Amino acid sequence: MKTSRPDPASQHLWRPYTQMKTTPAALPVVSAEGVRLRLADGRELIDGISSWWTVCHGYRHPHIIQAVKDQLDRVPHVMLGGLTHDPAERLAARLAALAPGDLNHVFFCESGSVSVEIAMKMAIQYWINQGVTGRTRFVAFRGGYHGDTIATMSVCDPDEGMHSLFAGSLPRQIIADLPVDADSIARFETLLDTHAGEIAGVMTEPLVQGAGGMKFHAPESLQAMRQACDARGLPLIFDEIMTGFGRLGTMFAAEKAGVTPDIMTVSKALTGGTLPLAAAIASKRIFNAFWSDEASAALMHGPTYMGNPAACAAANASLDLFEREPRLEQVAAIERAFARRLPSARDIPGVVDVRWQGAIGVIEMAGLPALDSLKADFVEAGIWVRPFNNIIYLMPPFVICDSDLELLINTCLAVTRRWAGQHFTGV
């Protein structure tokens, strides 16, 4: 029986990655425009992280908003089981044209984690459909993050990631060091040979490991993976959920590395941060393993809301903006601003590394004590920045103007310097 004690509505909402008993109250957002969030108390915050890396065109871009409204007036949703619609058909064709190499076959779903699960199922069933059994495990890498579902947690870093609590409940994968030099490449190849017959595929975030710590690696690492997989016939999966759609200065990180995977997952900025949508995009080689007269060879997955028409309309409008507006040039401008201003952070107490690539700027600390107070300091200074683990990072919307970008970077540096002076005395 419910008690009569007042129970604020906020207590009913279970928030992500949050200890609900001890967390500070969430900040109510009443409107958003461009790069700014307006709070219920009238304060405005420059969004320095693009709402978990999604809002590449800024909030409420009129072209995307109008496209969604128009689609809602026609068909808000229809299942793709036995039916189809133009927004999904058109979006699939455009993604196939944009994606590198022969990544031509697009399977839609609602979230990035699920797209990675689908990619894993594709790889496992790829072998099954060829009469090969036992290939059910994946090689993934320390520092990696691929999602929050049971299967995707299993390919995250088992020690540094947020999912170690579930270690005993997860499928047992093969976690390797990134191949970054001759010795680690040799160890990687040996590992593939040691587990030959077990491996369904190799999974990685190309060039930047995001939620695992914003760790960068060189294109040569991806090239080594590609060569090793090719030599053994293994599917290579790129998780481009964070890096896709311009974040590193090319539409996909794969292009920057000159490497084409067999399966690529995308989400986050796909709709410009407007509606949930994700996809696993497969090569002709992968797709052909499912092309059969046998019903059992079909890909065994079917999200109810896959290819939602309104979400597809948002994604098509987002791709319009990449074609019409200078998004990649804007990313290059953000990178130049990071190169000018972020190096000054190296003399802040507690800083162990400063790095940037494309529209990602990172200040790595020896630790983040009093994390809640640091977050509150950023808000008080008028910016929305969400440090995690030992990382303070900026990933602003691509459309941020020069003055707002300078304000964002300078404020972030000033707050970090002041806070670090309080918590890293003598460092």
Read off the CATH number of the domain in which 260 is found.
3.40.640.10
**Dihedral sign for Cα atoms in the order 178, 183, 186, 191:** negative
From the list 239, 262, 377, 404, the catalytic residue is 239
- Residues 90, 32, single domain; the answer is no
Global confidence as pTM: 0.95
**Helix, strand, or coil (residue 11):** helix
Same domain, 53 and 77: no
List, in order, residues 6 or more apart from 355 with CB less than 8 Å away.
Answer: 214, 216, 361, 362, 364
In one-letter notation, the amino acid at residue 97 is A
Q: Do residue 335 and residue 371 come from a single domain?
A: yes
Examine the domain organization and report whether 302 and 357 are in the same domain. no
Give the active site residue among 268, 377, 393, 404. Answer: 268
Q: Are residues 394 and 314 in the same domain?
A: no
Domain boundary among 324, 355, 374: 324
- Is residue 145 among the annotated active site residues? yes
pLDDT by residue for the chain (427 residues), tens digit each? 444 444 455 578 999 988 888 889 999 999 999 999 999 999 999 999 999 999 999 999 999 999 999 999 999 999 999 999 999 999 999 999 999 999 999 999 999 999 999 999 999 999 999 999 999 999 999 999 999 999 999 999 988 766 778 888 999 999 999 999 999 999 999 999 999 999 999 999 999 999 999 999 999 999 999 999 999 999 999 999 999 999 999 999 999 999 999 999 999 999 999 999 999 999 999 999 999 999 999 999 999 999 999 999 999 999 999 999 999 999 999 999 999 999 999 999 999 999 999 999 999 999 999 999 999 999 999 999 999 999 999 999 999 999 999 999 999 999 999 999 999 975 4
Answer yes or no: is 211 within a domain. Answer: yes
Question: Does a structural domain hold residue 177?
Answer: yes
Per-residue model confidence (pLDDT) at position 323? 98
pLDDT of residue 2: 45
The question of whether 17 is a catalytic residue gets the answer yes
Question: Are 352 and 306 in a shared domain?
Answer: no
State how many domains the chain has. Answer: 2
Backbone angles phi, psi at 153, to 5 degrees: -60, -30
Q: Is 305 one of the catalytic residues?
A: no
Rounded to an integer, what is the distance from CA 165 to the centroid of its chain? Answer: 22
Same domain, 382 and 310: no
Same domain, yes or no, for 13 and 112?
no
∠ CA 127-128-133, nearest 5°, is: 90
103 three-class SS: strand
| DSSP character string of 168-229 | GGS---EEE----SHHHHHHHHHHHHHTTTTEEEEEE-SSEETTTT-EE--HHHHHHHHHHH
Q: Which of the listed residues 324, 346, 369 is the one where a domain comes to its end?
A: 324
* Residue 400 domain boundaries: 9-57+326-423
Indicate if 158 and 244 belong to the same structural domain: yes
Answer yes or no: is 2 within a domain.
no
Q: Which of 47, 59, 126, 145 is catalytic?
A: 145
DSSP state of 303: -
95 is written with which tokens? 């993604």
Question: Both 84 and 188 in a single domain?
Answer: yes
Q: Residue 3: inside a domain, yes or no?
A: no
Domain boundary among 265, 293, 324: 324
Q: Specify the pLDDT at position 8.
A: 52
DSSP 28-59: PEEEEEBTEEEETTS-EEEESSHHHHT-TT-B
**Is 59 annotated as catalytic?**
no
Amino acid 164: pLDDT: 79
Least Cα distance to 109 among 100, 123, 122, 98 occurs for: 122
- First-to-last alpha carbon distance for the chain, in angstroms, is 54
- For residue 68, the surrounding DSSP H or E stretch is helix 62-74
